[in-house]
Structure 1
Amino acid sequence: MSEIAQNEFNDKTNIKVVGVGGAGGNAVNRMIAEGLQNVEFVAVNTDAKDLLRSDADVKISLSDKSSRGLGAGADPERGAKAAQDHQSDIEEALRGADMVFVTCGEGGGTGTGASPIVARAAHQQGALTIAVVTRPFSFEGPQRSASAEYGIDNLRKEVDALIVIPNDRLLELSDRSIGIIEAFKTADTALLAGVQGITDLISMNSYIHVDFNDVNSILRGAGTALFGIGSARGEDRATQAAEIAISSPLLEESIEGAHGALINIAGPTDLKLQEASAATELVRKAIHPEAQIIWGLALDDAYGDEVRVTVIAAGFDPVAAQDDDTQSTVTPVVANRRRSCDSRGTASSSTGTGCTARCHCPTGIHTGYR
């Protein structure tokens, strides 16, 4: 796609990312710091101090006389009421959006209670609405865990697609000596990867382009969604990257049974058709045999020897069963993929895949993004 065509596309596709509550606001700040492109950022919070620290383009305060800008006190009902009382402000901030991401850390007051209200406002305006949220760490206690499940159930009813990232599994991929602050930063990185894994598909200047309508056809009304990102260099780089993307330990359920998937392959201009074919074939075998698959290809020598594979899948059967010999018409799969870093700064797959991709993430959770 030409630069002019790409710019015209970006001008027509209005993407907004809404960070709700403290964790959502932190995630938005991280996305801005990492240079997430072609989106407008909105921060929604009951905590006035958190909003002051926000770098979002639009900030919506949900404070009232009872909260006095001090937060929702870990009470989801208070968070929900605050959002309802400011619904007109939320609707105005979301006006004109084609796609809205709602991101938060489940289990608190504002994120848990207000996120469904924000998502409903986006969905009622016709936007493709995707939630990317974290489930709390076990050390945060059973009450917060129960509150998170309540919030996830409510949010699921208001969005087209829901990606849930379990914080406990992030810890499994991190250094055992990681501090509490770094642990929560790792969660921010995971939320960034979940959003960027989708936005990059439609904003990258690609040889074979995945556009908004492609994403919409897969994720509209899809329910549970999973995503995976893998990158590798050297021999079998494309298949290694695909294997990493579909075998993440962060997956809460099997990717089998996915009826829709998006796959994007990015690499240098010397990337061979056989490499791309092998990567997509590996993904195809992991999902439903009749899945709708849309794939894109981005070629740029800035990748060096690296090949990056991003997969988003959704539309799952209650019980997934698949015959390995059955052919599928399309190809992707989904997973939430991260890799731990070894002492040399290279990314190593926890599944034993010999990936030699350079890790650029200081938190030890590899997203593949520079």
Structure 2
Amino acid sequence: MLFEFDDLANQKAKLKVLGVGGGGGNAINRMMKSGLIGVDFIAINTDAQDLDNNLAPMKIQIGKDLTRGLGAGAVKEVGRMAMEADRHSALNAINGADMVFITAGMGGGTGTGASPLIAKLAKEQGCLTVAIVTKPFHFEGPKRMQRAEEGIRELRENVDTLIVIPNQRLLNIVDRKTSIRQAFQTADSVLYQATRGISDLINRHGIINLDFADIKTIMNNMGEAIMGTGLATGEERAVLAAQQAISSPLLNDMNIRGASGLLINVTGGEDLNLFEVDEACKIITEEAGNEADIIIGAVIDENLTDEIMITVIATGFGKENSDHFRNSESILNPMKQELFAEEISAGKEIESFEIKSGSDNGSTLNIAFEEEKSFIDDIKDMNDKNIPAILRKMMNR
């Protein structure tokens, strides 16, 4: 008797990571340099130069006629219109995906304006849609923070799960001597860890394997989510990593109790054993309580030697908890600060990351905290006939 089998490769879940805007593009570069496997990378931007320097194999420039490849100028509406103009390009990129990760820095023009529309398109295609985004540092100004909050509200309406990383919280896990470049690289690293924490459970072989349906159970239509990570070595590494993950500064001092879904990824080298997985998960599940649906994956990464890395993603919080998560600005326990500062100062997450620049004389970091006014002023310098009609309307408001 002859049996026919489909190509197993074609039966695997198709995961795509869409980096939107400058912040999303930087996150993609970080993921690719770190060797994230089993996902397709797509960079989407209005800034042609930034897009050209991106490492993603697939790049989509949106709003060519609208912005002339010069970016959205921190105008959220321009980012949205640019995406609207090239929505078919995004649809083609999303086509065939089972799961779509959208990563962006909220507060600018392209990431803030385009991401909600991309999420809506992905959901309409039946993709499990997860957005992992950052909120600005306080020093970037209240105007940028206001735009970020608006973009996050719009994004929340169009995704299955939303993970928001407040950049300001990263100041609690870095040393005071950390450079501004390293601070932004740390933000990229957190976006990478969140994406990897989910994708590795699907793509990597492990002691405890999960399938895409398991992930979907925890993340489908779950709304707000929070994430914590832990990394430890030595005899008590599993316990320490678990404790770090559930007391992570990224949790915004919020307890994981109250979540309706919990995703736990325990990653270690070839020496990772089942007893360590049991120890770690016992600590986390006891903290979560009895109400959460919990799925656990244990993954082998040959590059980890004597280290265990744990990622906890808690999903499905009620509105009360979600509001607390977004508004909390409380101070961390000094011991927690010290634990995470040691990790960053040791370079565990950022030592291999390089910022690309157009110069051969060393890398430079250009951070634009521009406001809408500067963009409109630039437009006014153009000949009237060269200004798109929609922008003329914005100028005349």
Whether TM-score is above 0.5 comes out as yes
Quick one: structure 1 residues 145 and 94, their matched pair in 2 at CA, closer, same or farther if it must change by over 3 Å? Answer: same
Please tell me whether Structure 1 or Structure 2 has the larger radius of gyration of its CA atoms: 2
Q: How is 1:151-300 mapped onto 2 (pairs within 5 angstroms)?
A: 151-252=151-252, 253-268=254-269, 271-299=272-300
State the SS of the aligned residue for 1:286: helix
Tell me how far apart the structure 1 counterparts of residues 349 and 173 of structure 2 sit (CA, whole Å): 13
Quick one: structure 1 residues 193 and 275, their matched pair in 2 at CA, closer, same or farther if it must change by over 3 Å? Answer: closer
Q: What residue in structure 1 maps to residue 349 of structure 2?
A: 361
Quick one: structure 1 residues 10 and 106, their matched pair in 2 at CA, closer, same or farther if it must change by over 3 Å? Answer: farther
Q: What residue in structure 1 maps to residue 50 of structure 2?
A: 50
Quick one: structure 1 residues 260 and 361, their matched pair in 2 at CA, closer, same or farther if it must change by over 3 Å? Answer: same
Unaligned runs of 5+ in 1: 1-6, 321-347, 366-370
CA contact (8 A) 2:197 2:265 kept: no
Misfit runs of 4+, over 6 Å: 355-358
Tell me how far apart the structure 2 counterparts of residues 270 and 102 of structure 1 sit (CA, whole Å): 33
Quick one: structure 1 residues 85 and 255, their matched pair in 2 at CA, closer, same or farther if it must change by over 3 Å? Answer: same
CA contact (8 A) 1:233 1:356 kept: no
Tell me how far apart the structure 1 counterparts of residues 139 and 10 of structure 2 sit (CA, whole Å): 42
Letter of the 1:350 partner, please give it.
Answer: Q
Aligned residue pairs, count:
331
Residues 224-264 of structure 1: CA deviation (Å, up to 9, x unaligned): 11222222222222111111111101213331201111212
CA contact (8 A) 2:63 2:86 kept: no
Give the helix-richer structure, 1 or 2. 2
Q: What residue in structure 1 maps to residue 133 of structure 2?
A: 133
CA contact (8 A) 1:18 1:41 kept: yes
Tell me how far apart the structure 2 counterparts of residues 269 and 70 of structure 1 sit (CA, whole Å): 48
Residues 69-95 of structure 1: CA deviation (Å, up to 9, x unaligned): 111111101110110111111101100
Tell me how far apart the structure 1 counterparts of residues 270 and 25 of structure 2 sit (CA, whole Å): 38
State the SS of the aligned residue for 1:350: helix
CA contact (8 A) 1:108 1:148 kept: yes
Tell me how far apart the structure 1 counterparts of residues 244 and 352 of structure 2 sit (CA, whole Å): 16
Unaligned runs of 5+ in 2: 1-6, 322-334, 354-397
Tell me how far apart the structure 2 counterparts of residues 275 and 266 of structure 1 sit (CA, whole Å): 11
Tell me how far apart the structure 2 counterparts of residues 302 and 79 of structure 1 sit (CA, whole Å): 39
Normalising by structure 2, report the TM-score.
0.77
Residues 178-231 of structure 1: CA deviation (Å, up to 9, x unaligned): 222222222111211121111111111112201211111100001111222222
Quick one: structure 1 residues 11 and 231, their matched pair in 2 at CA, closer, same or farther if it must change by over 3 Å? Answer: farther
Quick one: structure 1 residues 269 and 38, their matched pair in 2 at CA, closer, same or farther if it must change by over 3 Å? Answer: closer
CA contact (8 A) 1:44 1:61 kept: yes
Quick one: structure 1 residues 181 and 304, their matched pair in 2 at CA, closer, same or farther if it must change by over 3 Å? Answer: closer
Letter of the 1:13 partner, please give it.
Answer: A
Percent of pairs identical after alignment?
Answer: 47
